[in-house]
Amino acid sequence: MRIVVVGGVAAGMSAASRARRQSGDARITVFERGDWVSYGACGLPYVIGGEVESFERLVARTPAQLGERGIDVRLRHEVTGVDAGAGTVTVRDRDGGETITEPYDRLLIATGVNAVRPDWANTDLRGVHVLRDLPDGQAIEESVKEAKRACIVGGGYIGLELAETLTTRGLSVTLLERGPEVAGRMLDVPLQRRVRAEVERCGVEVRCGTTVLGLTGEGGRVTGVETDGGRVPADLVIVAVGVKPSTDLARAAGVRLGETGAVAANDRQETGVEGIYAAGDNTESLHRVTGRPVHIPLGLTANRMGRVAGVNMAGGDAQFPGIVGTGIFKTFDLGVARTGLTHAEAEHAGLDAISVDVDSTDHAGYYRDAAPIHVRLTAERGTNRLLGAQLLGRTTSVKRVDVVAALLHGGGTVQDLFELDLAYAPPFSSVWDVLLVAADRAGRRLCGE
């Protein structure tokens, strides 16, 4: 069995490693167009911020280590074409320029996402960056050493994480967001405002409702960002306006794209083309709450998809269970978590939703260091089905989101949440945990009380 994997980060390396465990005889080759494989991209902001000592610490396995396990990893080799009929890929050596044809029996396309670069961001000016992969992180690190004023364009996960990172490094930071609030795609409006307040409290200037028009530069280096509200001086600009699935190779191979614009695959990660699989950030998932395909590129999803693809490519039988859209991040002292649907998303999906908000403390209020926590719980009228939760609080406390995520996977109700036997001791929780209080309040709301 000849297995070829295109892309050597989360999904690709999970697939290759799992395929090797599944089959000791398979010939497994991984082509990676970049210089690194098997690393944790989610850790990049924390290397730049100094919480992680080096970029090398993010690497889980080197090509040499993978080679010892019988996985042939070829760095700086770009797959430029797929001939599905012949069962071959065309590969260009980016260093030597040589082009080869590699046969396969099973092919995994795990090409990830590309950072969105608006027209104004396509520039040769030094100091303008996106943050998608490890080389991007290294480039930002070099620019930070020379910078004093940073401008972040985009108020999503990456933008908010980097707002903290760059402030910690001593830069003055301005964050620009085109929408009315930060975290617009992650949270409902009242929680978005709380996140913005925390970022501003920590010294970041936040300008929402702002459109970027262009960049200014001098001597080959960026000096500012032109907006519809005036110029923002900056010698470091981070473009964090989103990502899009990298699908060119899949489309060229005749693979169908789904309604999200990402690659469509079944629960075995098989595409509609014989012998070709897809997994990771370039591939859409089934949302277990709505029953609809979604494109939510996150680390666990990519690794789990890759694991399933690896098992199946090597002759096993595994299924990807779908997702409930669980995400978490921190900015300064605030942890932000969500799972399932926000109230706005539920209404957009045509569901009859209610939401309740609870402010409490993350453990017993009389025990030392109790800190605020906010929970918004969303449920469906008629069925009493849980639809989602959003949490703001101390970084450790918002991991409670996993309790709701687990129930969402099983189609749980508000009553199921309320009846859970959650752990209690004063250093960890109130006797009635904030999730139980939210479930009780939602239950009463659903009953019309």
Residues 139/128, Cβ–Cβ less than 8 Å = no
Q: Report the mean per-residue pLDDT for the chain.
A: 97
The answer to whether 163 and 271 have CB atoms below 8 angstroms apart is no
pLDDT surpasses 90 at 312: yes
For domain 327-446, give the CATH superfamily. FAD/NAD(P)-binding domain (3.50.50.60)
Check whether 96 has a pLDDT greater than 90: no
pLDDT, residue 189, reads 97
Shared fold status for 2-114+244-313 and 327-446: yes
CATH superfamily of 117-241: FAD/NAD(P)-binding domain (3.50.50.60)
Tens-place pLDDT, residues 215-225: 999 999 999 99
Matching residue, tokens 């490519």: 313
Is residue 10 within 8 Å of 304, Cβ to Cβ? Answer: no
Q: Which residues are catalytic?
A: 42
Say if domain 2-114+244-313 classifies as CATH 3.50.50.60: yes
Residue 374: C-alpha distances to residues 238, 302, 404, 445 (Å): 30, 29, 14, 18
Bridge partner list, 159: none
Strands 327-331 and 113-115: unpaired
C-alpha–C-alpha distance, residues 3 and 14, integer Å: 13
Indicate if the pLDDT at residue 448 is higher than 90.
no
Name the residue ranges covered by the structural domains of the chain. Answer: 2-114+244-313, 117-241, 327-446
Read off the tokens for 143: 């620019």
Nearest to 387 by CA among 334, 359, 348: 348
pLDDT at 436 over 90: yes
Tally the residues of the chain. Answer: 449
* Overall average pLDDT of the 371-394 stretch: 98
